[in-house]
Amino acid sequence: MKDYAVTLEFDNETENKIQEMIDEVARVTGCDYMKQSKIPPHVTVSALVSDNEEALLSEMESIAESMAKNFIWFANIGIFNPFVIYLGPVMNEFLQTTCKTVNERLLQYADVGNRGRYLPNQWVPHAAIVVKLTPDTIKEAFAIVQEKFSAFGATAEKIVLARAEPYEELKSWKLKEQA
């Protein structure tokens, strides 16, 4: 059984903005897991465990065909104390529907991963800036993100199926333009 994640990725401007924060925090704190693992800026909508990668890819193909680009508003900085600092998007219908649809459809071929933290009504959507912090680096990392952050809008342009731990993108699908 392997760990998988389904993520949303963003327009170039948003990706660059978030990546700059990731890079600066890594440079100053030495907590560079995101950078070393080449994990792009994203919001995870599902975490799964499966031994049927082919079925996951096939179902994701079908899910992606029905999805359109959509707006996300990043409004806050959050902490999963003491290890993660993230940017928090405002929960909207697009995020709720994506999480629900992906989980319902992929859990036909997988088990729940990451202790159920990415299931609908249990999920805190977030774009991680730094993970695997130490108690000594959290204040320093937060100060950097606080200085660089102001609320901003983003467009979810891709949905991705990736293996987790270590991160490896299996396939990404560009979301279509809204009608």
Question: For the chain, what is the HEC assignment?
Answer: CEEEEEEEEECHHHHHHHHHHHHHHHHHHCCCHHHHCCCCCCEEEEEEEECCHHHHHHHHHHHHHCCECEEEEEEEEEEECCCEEEEEECCCHHHHHHHHHHHHHHCCCCEECHHHCCCCCCCCCCEEEECCCCCCCHHHHHHHHHHHCCCEEEEEEEEEEEECCCCEEEEEEECECCC
CATH 3.90.1140.10 fits 2-174, yes or no: yes
- Spans of all domains in the chain: 2-174
pLDDT at 88 over 90: yes
pLDDT at 28 over 90: yes
Q: What is the pLDDT of residues 65-85, one digit of tens each?
A: 999 999 999 999 999 988 999
pLDDT recorded at residue 80? 94
Write down the pTM of the prediction.
0.96
pLDDT recorded at residue 49? 98
